[in-house]
Amino acid sequence: MNIYIGSDHAGYSLKNKLKVYLEDFGYLVEDKGAYSLDETDDYPDFIIPVAEAVAEDKESLGIVIGGSGQGEEMAANKVDGIRACEYYGGNLEIVKLAREHNDANILSLGARFMTEDEAKDAVKIFLETKFSGDERHIRRINKIEEGNN
């Protein structure tokens, strides 16, 4: 499975650590930037390319990282076909439910609100949890998608 990953300056360090973590598990990781630490960069420049790649490659997933993860989630969700969820610490059940119930295809992480280990735990759950495929969840996702047209 391809994993697309991107971050701004606030998520840059965590992104680089997560790339190694993912590659160690055998995932193919494509980094959409940032490629250097630049405190003046703008997260949409890196997050939108991740979202576009995931939307095009239906079998892939994405991980985007910023300070809070909020703007990154909003930017990703502007791309048709994307269902980004956010995690910034706390109960990991929310990540599992985002995959099981909403077929989330991008995980947005708030680097300033979690440890590296918490981020790794969230990524592991996100990648290992499958969409339930329940009719009620499919119906709801279809309603979301119809709203984008």
pLDDT of 149 reads: 52
pLDDT of 148 reads: 56
Q: 112 Cβ partners below 8 Å, 6+ apart?
A: 10, 67, 68, 88
Which CATH number goes with the domain that contains 97?
A: 3.40.1400.10
Q: How many residues does the chain have?
A: 149
**Is 33 in contact with 45 (CB distance < 8 Å)?**
yes
Tens of pLDDT along the chain (149 residues) come to 999 999 999 999 999 999 999 999 999 999 999 999 999 999 999 999 999 999 999 999 999 999 999 999 999 999 999 999 999 999 999 999 999 999 999 999 999 999 999 999 999 999 999 999 999 999 999 998 887 55
Amino acid found at 123: V
pTM of the model: 0.96
| 84-87 and 2-7 beta bridge pairing | unpaired
Q: 53 Cβ partners below 8 Å, 6+ apart?
A: 2, 4, 30, 32, 60, 62
State which residues form the domain around 133.
2-147
Number of domains in the chain: 1
Residues belonging to the active site: 72, 101
